[in-house]
Amino acid sequence: MVMPVDYYMATRRCRLVNLASQLETPTLMRIDINVPLKNGRIVENSLRLDVYAHVLELLSEYAGLVVLAHQGRPGEPELIPLKQHWIILRKLLPSEIDIEYIPASEMLARETREKILKLDVRQIILMDNVRLLEDEYYFSSEAALYRFFKGVIKTCVNDAIPVWHRSHTSLMMLPYIGKTYVGIRSTYELKAIWDINHSSETCGIIIGGSKFEKADYMFRLLERMDAFTGGIPAQLVLLAKGYDIGSRNEEYVKTHLKPEQLEIAKEIVRRFDVKHPIDFVVLEDKIPKVIPLERLGDTNGLIVDIGPETVYLYADMLQEKEIRIRAGPLGMYELGFGNGLKLTKMIAGNGLIFVGGDTTQELVMYNMEEVISRTGGLVLISGNAFLHGLSGFNYPSVDLIIKQVEGKLPPIQSLS
């Protein structure tokens, strides 16, 4: 399959390759530090925070930075201000780099504009959660963020690849504000997509997490690679195949997911040979038990992990795949259920690619990130956006950056 746009090659003229000559103060950056929450607190040892702390440290040597990011979605408990993120970034950044936090109530204030105009190198302003602004989701020339930054910012950097599949204001406005570049971390992850899409090697994808993602790109991916399921996707596949997964698990799936998720699973099962676990770890009366698939209907316990026999089965099958993508947790790793990690260790080495927030958080929790990276694997912070691009769908905000370089940037009104 050929991508509609080969982004790694198409962005050659708009990548950051000489920070000293490309960046000017103030530079506006869109990054992605959306991280898991636990009891209302963000997970401090998040890979995304660590990665972007390094990125900000590097770029701030050459320009004063104004940073935009988000956390959570409307209607969800994860939609919180970024003050916690600022505190952690302050710890991660060197003491000689100053980072100031601007709360939502002051984001568009005249005093904030004056602070931006006075920025110097080694100074960073972290604006509050852009998703607290109503027009973040509908870019137009009237968008508050766009009107605030227009005429103030010299250069822009879009280094938020985990949200590139969305056409939100904080991404789409950048080329209309100043000369815009693709960030260094995003270029690194684009190269991973390029390598897979231009490889003749066999590929398998291990799909976990809390649901099946959009059917359109999932179908495209499964046309070219074998799928191995865990987490909620495995339960959906089993239901689609007519298996009894136990009343408690079936109730959980139907309560927490929209009906179209099961319909996606049915279509996937109809069209593709999707692998599913042959045993599970089930929490029954607070006691973890290993239950084979054929006895799953007899238990009233909740599935919390794939089983040990599944680990060995998947490892045997995946050893035939030169490229092995892990997308989503296979169990409740945060509660100590680590069979997904055992599988990871068995299939480690060149060709293992971790994608996404929760997927990589599992590695960080068990101190495996450096092990994977140093033994030939890749650990990527983009999740659904990576799969979106890998399957051949476009990145709207990056399309605009490419058009800016070509001198073909359309009027804002023509985007609607």
pLDDT 10s digits, 297-328: 999 899 999 999 999 999 999 999 999 999 99
Q: Indicate whether 239 belongs to any domain.
A: yes
- Say yes or no: 72 and 209 in one domain: no
At 212, is the pLDDT very low, low, confident or very high (cuts 50, 70, 90)? confident
Average confidence (pLDDT) over 26-48: 92
- Say yes or no: 109 and 135 in one domain: yes
Average confidence (pLDDT) over 196-206: 94
Average confidence (pLDDT) over 366-374: 91
Statement: residue 214 has pLDDT above 50 = yes
Q: Which pLDDT belongs to residue 408?
A: 96
260 against 99, higher pLDDT? 99
At 44, is the pLDDT very low, low, confident or very high (cuts 50, 70, 90)? confident
Residue 335: DSSP 8-state: G
Closest CA to 181 of 13, 20, 60: 13
Paired with 379 in beta bridges are: 354
Q: Would you say 16 and 185 are in contact if contact means Cβ atoms under 8 Å apart?
A: no
Paired with 229 in beta bridges are: 207
Statement: residue 293 has pLDDT above 70 = yes
Q: Which pLDDT belongs to residue 36?
A: 87
- Say yes or no: 157 and 239 in one domain: no
Q: Which pLDDT belongs to residue 40?
A: 87
Statement: residue 138 has pLDDT above 60 = yes
| Cα gap 124→48, rounded to integer Å | 18
- Say yes or no: 260 and 355 in one domain: yes
Q: Is 123 left (phi over 0), alpha (psi -120 to 50) or beta?
A: beta
Closest CA to 383 of 78, 92, 47, 58: 47
- Say yes or no: 386 and 398 in one domain: no
Give pTM, 2 decimals: 0.94
- Say yes or no: 127 and 240 in one domain: no
Q: Which pLDDT belongs to residue 361?
A: 85
Average confidence (pLDDT) over 94-102: 98
Average confidence (pLDDT) over 13-41: 95
404 against 361, higher pLDDT? 404
Q: Indicate whether 125 belongs to any domain.
A: yes
Closest CA to 226 of 312, 316, 121: 316
Q: Indicate whether 372 belongs to any domain.
A: yes
Statement: residue 415 has pLDDT above 90 = no
Q: Which pLDDT belongs to residue 1?
A: 41
Q: Indicate whether 1 belongs to any domain.
A: no
Average confidence (pLDDT) over 172-197: 97
Amino acid identity for residue 72 in this structure: G
Ordered strands of the 27-30 beta sheet? 98-102, 123-127, 65-68, 27-30, 155-158, 179-182
Paired with 66 in beta bridges are: 28, 125
At 4, is the pLDDT very low, low, confident or very high (cuts 50, 70, 90)? low
Q: What is the DSSP string of 75-113?
A: TSTT---SHHHHHHHHHHS-TTSEEEEE-GGGTT-HHHH
- Say yes or no: 267 and 144 in one domain: no
> What stretch of H or E contains 324?
strand 323-327
Average confidence (pLDDT) over 29-49: 91
- Say yes or no: 118 and 227 in one domain: no
**How many structural domains does the chain have?**
2
Q: Indicate whether 249 belongs to any domain.
A: yes
At 416, is the pLDDT very low, low, confident or very high (cuts 50, 70, 90)? low
- Say yes or no: 347 and 231 in one domain: yes
At 75, is the pLDDT very low, low, confident or very high (cuts 50, 70, 90)? confident
Ranges 50-59, 206-215, 258-267, 301-310: which has the least confidence: 206-215
Q: Indicate whether 2 belongs to any domain.
A: no
Mutual angle of helices 47-59 and 184-197, in 10-degree steps: 120
Range of the domain at 212: 190-390
Q: Which pLDDT belongs to residue 275?
A: 97
- Say yes or no: 29 and 156 in one domain: yes
Q: Indicate whether 353 belongs to any domain.
A: yes
Closest CA to 161 of 146, 175, 171: 171
Average confidence (pLDDT) over 211-238: 89
Q: What is the pLDDT of residues 235-261, one digit of tens each?
A: 999 999 999 999 999 999 988 888 888
Q: Which pLDDT belongs to residue 3?
A: 44
Q: Indicate whether 373 belongs to any domain.
A: yes
- Say yes or no: 45 and 149 in one domain: yes
| Cα gap 309→398, rounded to integer Å | 43
Q: What is the pLDDT of residues 339-360, one digit of tens each?
A: 999 999 999 999 999 998 777 8
Percent of the chain whose predicted confidence (pLDDT) is above 90: 85
Residue 201: CB atoms within 10 A of its CB come to 10
Paired with 65 in beta bridges are: 27, 124
**In 244-286, which residue ranges form alpha helices assigned H by DSSP?**
247-256, 259-271
Q: Is 401 exposed, middle or buried (0-12, 13-18, 19+ CB in 10 A)?
A: buried
Statement: residue 77 has pLDDT above 60 = yes
| Cα gap 79→87, rounded to integer Å | 17
How is residue 138 written in tokens?
């509908």
| Cα gap 253→192, rounded to integer Å | 33
- Say yes or no: 35 and 80 in one domain: yes
| CATH, residue 88 | 3.40.50.1260
Q: What is the mean pLDDT of the chain?
A: 94
Q: Which pLDDT belongs to residue 378?
A: 95
